[in-house]
Amino acid sequence: MPPSDNYCSTASAHAHDGCAHARSTTTGIDSDQLFNAICHSLSLCRLQCRKGLRKVHRRLSDIAERLNMIADNTHELEHDDWFMAGAVVRVWVAICADAALARGLLQRGILERTLPLVNTDVCSSLWTQLFTLLAHHGDKTVKVEILRTISSMFVRPYQNQTWRSDSHMTSTFIIMALYHCLDAVTFSDTPPAIPNTVFNTALPATVLATHILEHFPKPHVPHASMVHAFPLLISCALSCTTTGLKPVTPVLEFLTMLIKSRNIGLRCVAIWAFGRLCPDVSTEPDSTATQFPLHTIADDRLPPGGEIAESRRCTREMLTLVQDLVAEGDVWQFGVKLADLVMQGRLIYDDIQLEGLAGNEKLAHTDSWDTLLQEAVMVVMKKDCRYRDKGDVLILERGVLSNPSDSDIVAEHAHQILHWEPAHAYAHVVLSENASHLEWALQTVLAGLELQDLTPHLKRRLLLRGLDLSYQKGCAILLGANATELQRLRVGRGWLRVGLDYAHQFIKEAPKDSQDLPHVADLCMCMTLILRGPSLGEDLASIQPILRVLDRSLAALKELGIEVGDNPIRAGNRLFVQHYPRGLEKWGDFLTNFHEQDHMIRASIKYPQKSDRVLENTEGDNPGEGQMEPGNSDSTVWWGNAAATSIHALLHGPLRCCCRASESNGRVQLGPGLVALLQCTWCGDTTALIKRCRGCKQAWYCNSTCQRAHWPEHRKECKVHGGSRR
């Protein structure tokens, strides 16, 4: 029979007697009956419904004190009563479905009473579920304590890890708890104090990764377990980059299968992760020696019509112009012809080339290219206004040479020239390569490629810059968008398609000795994988042509004596190609089923609005007016998001879990057996105290603070639906 209503009375002096009474009156009953007995003794009715939790709000201090006393007394008697402790944890779990109640219990010491239950006879799926809820609602201090506790669970001797014998739900809750603690972790580029450990704890990356991967093949693995595991596995792989990736080979095989997701953001995460697994190689976009001494290559080794041969031809013609200048002193003719050469190929400048000018009395002061170009600009601009465009080319060339570390000055010169002459080809190139405002640079590329008089040299420079910027923008938008932000995903996909088109054009038109070709092939492969990942077969047919282009380019440059260094993107691509076949064999079917399930679930959910606003808008200045099509002029901050991309940022984007997402009925269920509560439209908290907007009946708020914060945005919608203010 159930204990009397006096069980666990408000007088703390009765706590010991109450606990003893519970044992004497509940002997032989099961856990459900004991849970109901405790609820009955505390007058906790219907915890699985909103009405029951609203009553808890009114009596939280008293209920929390009584539960704490019961929990404390399970340790103080002759033998620990883990059966009773487990029943108390069940009550805590039911109450913690409400965010406000969970934070109230945390303030009253629930975490300190839960931590000692690890590796006891209390059912591990109970306290791990409680860990998940506390990590979900708690602050950084709570999350750090949970991380330390879970870490200690894994590092103790295996035979003492009693929690492993419980159901696979324990593993699911551990994965979920770790995920929700990640925002308390400081991810650093420096190696961890203890090699190959994760989350600033002593937890070995291989131990956690092995546990997760062994958990997946079990039957009925929840969708939530998979979603929460992805950032954990990525963290495990990244933690081993300095000591070798061999121990996490199974993780790499698993991560290759993210490329099969129907969510393009998740495919982008896979490429992002592999691009950061080899930090020891150069961090530059490409380590090609762009300042390679071309004069050291014999003419007979150069492919006819190649980029290097063209550069050498232009440089020789430039030296001829210098000799003519020494002989004739015609600065105007020198400037006009030099401007034409600048448009045709890369020129190699050296002040030694001007030694002959010392014998010319009028030109003796032009002992450097900076002063000679300055003189040429003055003469060309003054003599004939019809050649103003040639003078502008020389102005820009001088700016590039004299201000290599201050690109903003050069960009401003190019901007001024375009203001007066919008079709100036070289100004488009210089502005796109030097503007610190990357959206400005990208729009300049788009406009420049529309010009009719582009030389092959300038076109390749614009294509290269456009490729880089389109890829950066597409990835920045995709890595900042969760699966429900369909418009942002379309925009990101659109920019990757633009970049891929530029890559194909560059590969088609570039000479085989182009020193930029390997870098273009690297990005082309990344974009192809992201855009065509779901159709990628075991033979990697979609990227085989790109791999051949890369191999031929590297071989051609090596034959000329130009050693092209490695870079993180190329090394990451190699890792992907290496591990993909095995990953497809082991995880292909399993993850294909998950991706289909994930697509259906995310199509029916909605995230709260406040959490979307913690990230900068990546589409336009006005949050309600995103850029609809690539090429429209806008002022965006996507490059800031690209530079700041981290695990933390991805948790708000493609790696965002569904815990705070509501279904079509607006309710959120934080775990099995818990009450499904309505969610605050602004902050996303789930609470039984939530109230509906009186105006439109379409929004829900947990308190007046959230309602006031949302009102500036909600005002218009509220008037449309309700016709009255709140």
Residues of the chain with pLDDT under 50: 1-25, 78, 283-291, 611-635, 724-726
Backbone angles phi, psi at 292, to 5 degrees: -60, 135
Domain stops at, among 427, 454, 481: 454
The DSSP letter of residue 609 is: S
Q: Identify whether residues 346 and 432 lie together within a single domain.
A: no
Q: Identify whether residues 289 and 416 lie together within a single domain.
A: no
* C-alpha dihedral, 139 to 140 to 142 to 148, nearest 10°: 160
Q: What is the pLDDT of residue 25?
A: 46
Residue 105 is part of a domain; what is its CATH number? 1.25.10
Residue by residue, DSSP assigns 147-190 as HHHHHHHHHS-GGG-GGGGS-HHHHHHHHHHHHHTGGGS---SS
What are the tokens at 712? 């500036």
What are the tokens at 420? 């007066």
Q: Identify whether residues 360 and 391 lie together within a single domain.
A: no
Residue 342 lies in a domain: yes
Q: What is the pLDDT of residue 719?
A: 72
Give 400-432 pLDDT, tens digit per residue. 988 877 888 999 999 999 999 999 999 999 999
Strands 691-692 and 667-668: unpaired
Residue 620 lies in a domain: no
Residue 699 lies in a domain: yes
Q: Identify whether residues 104 and 21 lie together within a single domain.
A: yes
Contact partners, residue 313, CB within 8 Å, separation at least 6: 345
Do 477 and 467 meet the contact criterion of CB atoms below 8 Å apart? no
Q: Identify whether residues 43 and 143 lie together within a single domain.
A: yes
Residue 579 lies in a domain: no
Residue by residue, DSSP assigns 226-258 as HHHHHHHHHHHHHTTTTT-SGGGHHHHHHHHGG
Strands (E), 506-648: none
Q: Identify whether residues 428 and 334 lie together within a single domain.
A: no
Residue 712 lies in a domain: yes
Distance CA 260, CA 526 (A): 14
Q: Identify whether residues 16 and 116 lie together within a single domain.
A: yes
Domain stops at, among 345, 361, 383: 383
Residue 572 lies in a domain: no
Domain count, the chain: 4
- Is this structure's pTM higher than 0.95? no
Do 606 and 661 meet the contact criterion of CB atoms below 8 Å apart? yes
Q: What is the pLDDT of residue 504?
A: 97
In which domain, by residue range, is 438 found?
385-454
Q: Identify whether residues 349 and 416 lie together within a single domain.
A: no
Give 98-151 pLDDT, tens digit per residue. 999 999 999 999 999 998 888 788 888 899 999 999 999 999 999 999 999 999
Backbone angles phi, psi at 197, to 5 degrees: -110, 165
Q: Identify whether residues 353 and 399 lie together within a single domain.
A: no
Q: Identify whether residues 289 and 379 lie together within a single domain.
A: yes
Residue 94 lies in a domain: yes
Residue 184 lies in a domain: no
Q: What is the pLDDT of residue 299?
A: 65
Q: What is the pLDDT of residue 280?
A: 67
Q: Identify whether residues 8 and 48 lie together within a single domain.
A: yes
Sign of torsion, CA 52 57 63 67? positive
Q: Identify whether residues 390 and 379 lie together within a single domain.
A: no
The residue whose two tokens read 């218009």 is 716
Domain stops at, among 420, 454, 488: 454
